Structures are given as structure tokens and as C-alpha cells.
Amino acid sequence: MKTKDMTLIAVMAALICVAGPLSIAIGPIPLSLASFAVYLAGAILGWKKGTLAVAIYLLIGLVGVPVFSGFSGGFQKLAGVTGGYLIGYLPCALITGLGAGEEKPRWLLPLCMVLGTVALYIIGTAWFMIQTKNTLAASMGMCVIPFLPGDAVKIIAATLIAMPVGKAVRAQMA
């Protein structure tokens, strides 16, 4: 791996670390900017490097650095009711990254972000249901439905930012 690649991965992991704690508690699952940064990581760096940036973010939080929502960190946060959403960032970045690149049609990137969000919701909501013993309907009402409008806005914004930034970054990485 080139020094440029390692630097870009570290910068994206740092961006997620900065965005992750910025959250609003709207129920058991907080509204956070982390998913926006995860979209950018996958879209700008591609599936491999973007997913690695997310993995580094999770490891930083796992060791106790307060990079998760509400300036929290540690294994207990990853094992708690929101842990599935944190783990879900990995497939979200991976799937988003599959749509990145100039050679791909422009519509593919936002579609991959949507599909990555679906994977994030499935993993996070299943984890939440297991932890809380809530029904699917109750969990959807607490963990998915309230977040749909905000995630739509994040996907639009991330697409608009990632296309030109990703092109510039890929030119530098070549």
C-alpha cells in the first residue's frame, strides 16, 4: 500500500471519528453524522480503502476513544443496543464503494449508498431487536422510519460532494 493510500484512509477514518460523536438523541438510536462520513469514505476511497477506514474508526472506538455517538467509546457501546448500527457501517462503506469511480454510471453511486443503508438498517435493527426483545414493527418505528428523511438528505449531499472530490482523489492516487 502506498503512503498516499494510507494517508487518505487515515484522513477518512479521522473524518468519521469527528462526525461520529456529533449526534442528537431522538430515541434509543441517536441521529449521527457518522453515516454521512461513512458514505464519503466508501464513495471517495472505493470499497476496499473505504471499508478499511471504517474498520479503523471502529477499532479506535472499541479501545475506548470517545468517537461514537454522544462522545462515547469502548466495547460496551459496540455490544449495546446501537452496536449493530456501528457494525453495519462496514457493509455500508463496502457497498457504497462498489458504486464509486468515473467509469461507473453516475446513478450507481447513490443507488449503492441506498443499498448500503439497507444493509446498515438490517444489521442494526436485527441487533437492536435481539438486544431489546422488541418486535420488528416496534424496532422499525424506533430505528428506521425516523431516520429515512435524514439519510436521504445525507445520501444526496454525499453524492454531490463525493463525485468531484473522489475524482480528484483518484487522480492523486494514480
- The set of cell numbers assigned to 105 is 454510471
The pLDDT assigned to 118 comes to 98
The pLDDT assigned to 167 comes to 87
Report how far apart, in Å, the C-alpha atoms of 27 and of each of 15, 24, 119, 144 are: 25, 9, 21, 11
In CATH, the number for domain 3-173 is: 1.10.1760.20
The pLDDT assigned to 6 comes to 95
What is the average pLDDT score of the chain? 95
Given a contact cutoff of 8 angstroms between Cβ atoms, the answer to whether 18 and 57 are in contact is: no
The partner residues of 72 in beta bridges, in order of sequence, read: 68
- pLDDT beyond 80 at 57: yes
Mean pLDDT of 127-154: 96
- pLDDT beyond 90 at 47: yes
- The set of cell numbers assigned to 117 is 443503508
Neighbours of 35 (CB within 10 A): 27
Report how far apart, in Å, the C-alpha atoms of 97 and of each of 5, 65, 66, 116, 149 are: 15, 26, 26, 9, 22
pLDDT band at 171; cut points 50, 70, 90:
confident
Angle between helical axes of 108-132 and 136-143 (0-180°, round to 10): 120
The alpha helices in the chain, defined as continuous H runs, are 3-19, 34-62, 75-79, 83-98, 108-132, 136-143, 148-173
- pLDDT beyond 80 at 174: no
Buried b (16+ CB within 10 A) or exposed e, 96-108: bbbbbeeeeeeee
